[in-house]
Amino acid sequence: MRVFTAALATETNTFSPIAVDKRAFEASLHAGPGEHPATPTLCTAPITVGREVCAREGWTLIEGSASWADPAGLVARTTYEELRDAILDQLRAAMPVDGVVLGLHGAMVAQGYDDCEGDILSRVRDIVGPDVLVCAELDPHSHLTKKRAEAADFFVYFKEFPHTDFVDRARDLWDIAARALKGEIKPVMTVFDCRMIDVFPTSRQPMRGFVDKLIALEKSEQGLLSLSVVHGFMAGDVPEMGTKVLAITDNDPEKGAALAEKLGRELFAMRGTTMVAQVDEKTAVDAALAAKSGPVVVADVWDNPGGGTAGDATVLLAEFISRGATDVAVGTIWDPIAVQICFAAGEGAEIQLRFGAKSAPDTGSPIDKRVTVKKLVRDAEMRFGESFAPFGDAAWIHFDGIDVILNSTRAQSFDPSLYSALGIDPKSRKILLIKSTNHFYDSFSKIASEIIYCSAGKPYPNRPAETNYRKARKDIWPMVENPWGT
């Protein structure tokens, strides 16, 4: 067998002011054919797992390029077309192939392209023809469009949020692909539209139980190959935005359709109950200061670079400062200009510094402080599950009993190693202020005495019923109370 694999991925918040060009991919991951590192990123596990599978099977794996950019705003048209066309040219050069296994995200939007994944998948199908297997692993915070479903044989999505299972799901993808290539099964996809958009963290009930049920059904149901919940991405203003349930069966579309609808209606019945309760910045700071032990983790959930925001909001930090709080460590605030100034000043320098709140309205005001530059690190990284996430050149500054990590490459707070990368022991601080909606939970919950979810400012369109969508559907919950009309 000859199998082609490649990856092209980012998550597009169409409301974000942070434009994405090729440099954004180069800052996170941009690897040429055969140059992908041994460790996968969030959306490139099909490449590294493919190496294992093809070596075991004695098949030829032809690797195309792999590109990933941290979530932000619209991708430049020329950047998307250049990266897409490189993969398509690599596929043409690899022909003939028996299969194409891709790593995609599912919520990429470029100037002129509302459905990047549908575009690239349909072009892949045009190259390989109707009989070659085409499949992909995707992030559930994405848009499952008709165009991409028609172009591919099947998709497998991460089940967990936080996405700790991207390698496991890549193994599921390859297992189904290998069995199909050997002629043992014929995977068929069926999709159910849940007619809603919501947030579905699996680190708590009721989604924890729902995902466990999917896993159990995959093991027990004869002929069922995979189940996925496509959460949808509410910050993507595209025509087919929304939540869907996907079933893959061994050539049994009726079974798949019935099961997808049953599960989809169960999920719809849970609407509005899945997201953890959030408090405003004043309540969050009250609770953190009142805690008797630490570290207390305060998550600035909507200023989350993992959702495409800048990660430079200062609303929560300003509240801590106004209360005279100390023993607070902030990880991170994105400010490449401030980082550059700190590097110019050098470690140990005392400087007057303005930082934060440069990117958008409703994110607070810049902080003006005389700070000490404690440590400088080039190309800093933190862990994220089995991978590493870069957060660029970074500076640890200190003022008034507060430590702040400034970073130059936007990244959400995945793991406490973001602090230790700068020489801060996160366990020694009473309060850790981080920026993430839920990806932080798996790692930070292991050291936290308490976790406080805070909704501060308005950096992210997190209330779909109030969001000024121009393209997205208006006939789904919570835009309408009863989208079924019954």
Are 128 and 134 within 8 A, CB to CB?
A: yes
pLDDT for 34 beyond 90: yes
Label residue 24 by pLDDT band (50, 70, 90): very high
Label residue 385 by pLDDT band (50, 70, 90): confident
Cβ neighbours of residue 242 under 8 Å, at least 6 residues apart? 143, 193, 194, 195, 196, 197, 232, 473, 476
Label residue 486 by pLDDT band (50, 70, 90): low
**In the chain, what percentage of residues exceed pLDDT 90?**
95
pLDDT digits (tens, 9 = 90+) for 96-121: 999 999 999 999 999 999 999 999 99
pLDDT digits (tens, 9 = 90+) for 202-225: 999 999 999 999 999 999 999 999
pLDDT digits (tens, 9 = 90+) for 312-336: 999 999 999 999 999 999 999 999 9
Cβ neighbours of residue 264 under 8 Å, at least 6 residues apart? 192, 193, 194, 244, 245
pLDDT for the residue 92: 98
Phi, psi for residue 377 in degrees, rounded to 5: -135, 130
- Rounded CA gap, 281 and 290, in Å? 14
Q: Provide the 8-state DSSP code for 244.
A: E
Residue carrying structure tokens 């207390």:
296
3-state SS class at 224: strand
pLDDT digits (tens, 9 = 90+) for 121-147: 999 999 999 999 999 999 999 999 999
pLDDT for the residue 440: 96
**Pairing between β-strand 99-104 and β-strand 133-138 as defined by DSSP bridges:** parallel
Mean pLDDT of 43-51: 97
Q: Read out DSSP for 32-87? A: -TT---SS--TT-HHHHHHHHHHHHHTPEEEEEEEEE--SBSPBPHHHHHHHHHHH
Tokens of 230: 């496509």
**In the chain, what percentage of residues exceed pLDDT 70?**
100
- Chain-wide mean pLDDT for the chain? 96
pLDDT for 438 beyond 80: yes
Q: Read out DSSP for 424-459? A: --GGG-SEEEE--SSTTHHHHTTT-SEEEEE--S-S
Cβ neighbours of residue 333 under 8 Å, at least 6 residues apart? 311, 312, 314, 317, 355, 356, 404, 405, 406, 407
3-state SS class at 381: strand
Cβ neighbours of residue 480 under 8 Å, at least 6 residues apart? 474
Phi, psi for residue 319 in degrees, rounded to 5: -65, -45
- Rounded CA gap, 92 and 124, in Å? 9
Could you tell me where the DSSP H helices lie in 137-206? 146-151, 166-181
pLDDT for the residue 387: 83
- Rounded CA gap, 51 and 63, in Å? 9
Q: Provide the 8-state DSSP code for 305.
A: G
Stretch (H or E) spanning 374: strand 367-384
**Bridge partner residues of 9 (DSSP):** 68
- Rounded CA gap, 195 and 159, in Å? 20
- Rounded CA gap, 473 and 140, in Å? 18
What's the whole-model pTM score? 0.93
